[in-house]
Amino acid sequence: MDINQLEVFVTVARERSFSRAGEALGRTQPAVSQAIARLEQDVGERLFDRSSKDGTLTPAGEVLLEHARHILNLRQSALEAVHELRDLKAGKVTISANEHTVFYLHPDIKVEVVRGVASRIPEQITAREVELGVISFAPDDPSLRSIEVMTDELVLIAATTHKLANRREVSIKELGGETFVAHNAPSPYRRQVLEAFAKHKTPLNIVVELPSLEAIKLLVQQGSDIALVPRLTAEVEIASGLLKELRVKEIRLERKLNIIYRRNSELSHAAKAFIEMAEELRNKH
């Protein structure tokens, strides 16, 4: 069993297809099949259910997948640590958050934020899939450390052409006849919004649910629908005049944004720089 076989195995499991895994790895499908066959011979177990066409793992495959990901992530961490020794100011930190973006803290330090489901981000950290996470709650896992870095709030957004666009504040009762676009992920804030509308005996008419806040903003910009979103996610559009921000009298929901990471882990220089920058921003506000 070698590292290349594990890489092929993890790719097939992720793509749920031998042919798609071959495309992702730049290999032929027979080469992928041969690598999996050799790996199965090494471990003495079937890893994929051959009666299934969607790359379904056997119980042995499920067990090996967890360890294979850990090994590959450790290899990547080792390579990055060695590279950082060449230049202590250089490096990359990968952060899991609920939207995808890439930005830079420093010309030589790349900070990549990949989309993650908030409820799974603590698991990603403990599994070493990413180094840092950004979530709006403090995790219960004692192996994780949480640093509160920013406070956000939910706001109502509408297109500039919407009939409510000239208002600064509205009541829940006024929103009973409006159509909403919502994020499809469950969260404490979604539950509290539903409870607020129920308390005021007002229907919350959700006509579309989407997995991406970017898609929600684009749909709202088209004119007829409105949405409740974290203000930070719509700051650029509000500032540029693409969207209007309104307050809902009965809804005051603050979100505490926390950076989380493994408590006993040695952070990369890039991760330390990111945390320092976030703490500086918090202190300024």
Question: To the nearest whole number, what is the mean pLDDT of the chain?
Answer: 84
- Helical ranges in 127-250 per DSSP H: 188-199, 213-221, 231-240
Within a 13 Å sphere around the CA of 42, how many CA atoms are in the beta-carbon half? 14
What is 150-255's CATH topology? D-Maltodextrin-Binding Protein; domain 2 (3.40.190)
Where does CATH 3.40.190.290 sit in the chain?
A: 150-255
* 31-67 per-position pLDDT tens digit: 988 999 999 998 898 998 877 777 789 999 899 988 8
Instruction: Note the CATH architecture for domain 3-72.
Output: Orthogonal Bundle (1.10)
Residue 101: pLDDT band (50, 70, 90) is: very low
Q: Could you give phi then psi for residue 245, rounded to 5 degrees? A: -105, 130
Residue 103: pLDDT band (50, 70, 90) is: very low
Distance CA 277, CA 111 (A): 12
> How large is the average pLDDT for residues 270-285?
74
Query: What CATH number does the domain located at 91-149+256-284 have?
Result: 3.40.190.10
CA dihedral 65, 71, 72, 77 (to 10 degrees): 150
**Poorest-pLDDT segment among 46-60, 81-95, 157-171, 237-251:** 81-95
